[in-house]
Amino acid sequence: MNTTIIFIHGAQHDHDCWMLQSGWFTQRGCRVLALDLPGHGKGAGDALPSIEAQAAWVAGLFDTEEGITQAHVVGHSMGSLVALELADRVPQRVRSATLVGPALPMPVSPALLEMACKDEQKAMDMINFWSFSVAGRLGHNGLPGLWMPGINKRIMERQRAGVMYADFSACNAYQRSMESLADINVPMLIIAGAQDKMTSPKVARTIAETLPQARIEVLPGCAHAMMTERPGEVLGALKKFIGEIEGWEK
């Protein structure tokens, strides 16, 4: 199988947020790159200052990683903006793009930006609270004993000091217009959480309606941390979408 899938995490996260999804495609024989962007996880260097810089860094993998000519690109939150930017910059390289929890623009309140700069722990607690639905915060999960907010918090806590502010600043500064999406002619899947308080499902629908080749899946009862709160549903949507393009599913 010659299918390559690139997973791009969101702000203050790393590759572990894609554990179930990347594992399934790896077992199927796909070439999977679950990235740590610079400054995140085991990624070398400092966090990049803009979405454009992050997209340029990911685009460079097509030249440095042997055998990658095209890839399905999957991004969550901040990573969805990177995937969108890639689809515009190098459409010949992007076989499809999946935007999980996208928004355009993706503003960050001045209060949260200041908190991310001055009190990362408090900012993480606030983000973690709003990343899950009420049921998710209370422990509702298909796997007994799995504490979803705890998992999310541990991933955030292991990122380097300053990464959160850099990521939020990059999201806040990204200036692509909604109208510009009409020129991006790449197959797209939008995955939104019906209870997402961080990136609005209403905006996700507008994004899907504006992109020429897009479909949308809205996950009921789910908030922003979709890969943790609804891992099976996110994987199912990816399997169907990528499988149809690759001819696995009809």
Q: What is the pLDDT of residues 180-189, one digit of tens each?
A: 999 999 999 9
Give the per-residue SS3 of 12-56: CCCHHHHHHHHHHHHHCCCEEEECCCCCCCCCCCCCCCCHHHHHH
- Furthest-apart CA atoms within the chain: distance in Å: 51
pLDDT-derived band at 234, boundaries 50, 70, 90: very high
Q: Which residue is listed with tokens 């009862």? A: 221
pLDDT, residue 66, reads 80
What is the residue extent of each domain of the chain? 4-246
pLDDT, residue 145, reads 61
The yes-or-no verdict on residue 140 having pLDDT over 90 is no
- How is 171-229 classified by DSSP, letter by letter? HHH----SGGGGG--S-EEEEEETT-SSS-HHHHHHHHHHSTTEEEEEETT--S-HHHH
CA gap 131, 124 in Å, rounded: 10
pLDDT-derived band at 150, boundaries 50, 70, 90: confident
**pLDDT, average across residues 130-158:** 80
pLDDT digits (tens, 9 = 90+) for 10-38: 999 999 999 999 999 999 999 999 999 99
Mean pLDDT of all residues in the chain?
Answer: 94
> Tell me, which fold does domain 4-246 have in CATH?
Rossmann fold (3.40.50)
pLDDT, residue 114, reads 96
Is residue 66 within a helix (H) or strand (E), and if so which, with residue range? none
Judge residue 135's burial from the number of C-beta atoms within 10 Å of its C-beta, 0-12 exposed, 13-18 middle, 19 or more buried.
Answer: middle
Q: Which residue is listed with tokens 């197959």? A: 187
pLDDT, residue 65, reads 84
The yes-or-no verdict on residue 250 having pLDDT over 60 is no
- Nearest Cα neighbor of 15 from 31, 32, 36, 33 is 36
The yes-or-no verdict on residue 177 having pLDDT over 60 is yes
CA gap 85, 83 in Å, rounded: 5
pLDDT, residue 1, reads 56
pLDDT digits (tens, 9 = 90+) for 189-222: 999 999 999 999 999 999 999 999 999 999 999 9
Percentage of the chain exceeding pLDDT 70: 96
Judge residue 211's burial from the number of C-beta atoms within 10 Å of its C-beta, 0-12 exposed, 13-18 middle, 19 or more buried.
Answer: buried
- Exposure pattern of 218-245 as b/e (b: 16+ CB <10 Å)? ebeebbbbbbbbbbebbbebbbebbeee
pLDDT, residue 129, reads 92
pLDDT-derived band at 92, boundaries 50, 70, 90: very high
